[in-house]
Structure 1
Amino acid sequence: MILVGQMDSPFLRRVAVTMNFYGIPFERQSLSVFADQKALGAINPLGKVPALVLDDDEVLFDSQMILDYLDETAGPDISLTPPAGEDRRKVLRIATVALGVAEKVVALNMETRYRAGGTTDPRLVRRFEGQVGSGLQWLQAEAPEQNQDPWFLGPEMTQADVTAACALTHSVEKRPELFPPETYPALAALRERAEVLEIFKSSPFEEG
């Protein structure tokens, strides 16, 4: 299998970490959404990452579609996302908010770092920053406190933890001022616990 994209994408990185967790080997094709638009467009018509090229050349788009395939391949006994019920809904709820935080950090960077001088819309900047802050506050309230179980749903890691950790590291690397650890101590601790694991260290954040 070939995982297409760069490791500064939290969406791609959560797929890579999940594949590491399941022991599914993969190659990387490090294409940039900016510098490699033509090559990327030949793989994904939207020119987005991640994409996963399967061994039979079928291509999967979007991290959630890819994770659904990986969960099915791994089987319900070790799947990071519960197959049904309240736990499944909680994992997906946390992952959705974490992905939303990552999406707004990306949007904020696009608005403040890639626009021509003087064309940044301060209203959009305030809105994106507010959405990041609201998402982080919600995740902080859901995160385990000190002396509790280490992960969102208890002693075992789930996709909620993988996605949140990837999104938080992306925030730290791209907009550290929005994620002061003293404001979000439970989230900061969860991120640190995750990033020392081999499944994360094997696919580290890398600036594209």
Structure 2
Amino acid sequence: MEAYTPFDRIFQSCGNIWHIRRADMDKLWEQMTEQESAEDHIPYWNEIWPSSLALAGWLAEMQDDIQGKKCLDMGCGLGFTALLGKWLGADVTAMDYEPKALEYAKINEFLNGIPGVEWVVEDWRRPALPAESFDRIWAGDVMYEEGFAQPIAAYIASMLKSGGKAWIAEPRREIFHHLLDILHEHHLSYKLICYLPISPLTEQEMPVTVNIWQIAKA
């Protein structure tokens, strides 16, 4: 395995240096346009977004809460927050819809020397993991389309144990409120935990303000 590629992200977060390998985005776009359902395969997963950086900071703050607990990284992408959760002492399962994302997540597991995450290919519209398996769920930047709201809400309600909590980080997109508006239909409550400016790893001058929401199951 190559020590470094031009697509790697090397950055500091939560007191650790992280080495996250990404795919060649140009090649991903070429592959996507060859697929019949291209809209379902936009490679959002191939980046460390500001929401993931904010979520990482929150997980570090909540280390005592997640240590030893069954936790699910929902839409884990390249695996950064799943690996960070494991590094903090959580028992982490990480799922993503895209098998290619998990290929890179497993590479990043090796590059960062943090074994033990359970990587699962899963579509939140058709869950296969056992219901009520997790004490905590976290996700970064998963609400890109209005149609995601119902399956995300249903998935969180299904996967959380009674009394469990989910944390979702999002960059203040209006579309996120479609999810908030239907959580009560799934017997979930929510509150805004915090918001903070995050400097992106990409070439962007202005920080991105990220909200972190807590979703609870009674």
TM-score range, shorter chain: 0.3 to 0.5
TM-score, scaled relative to structure 2: 0.35
Q: Relative to total residues, which structure has the larger strand share, 1 or 2?
A: 2
Considering fraction of residues, name the structure with more helix. Answer: 1
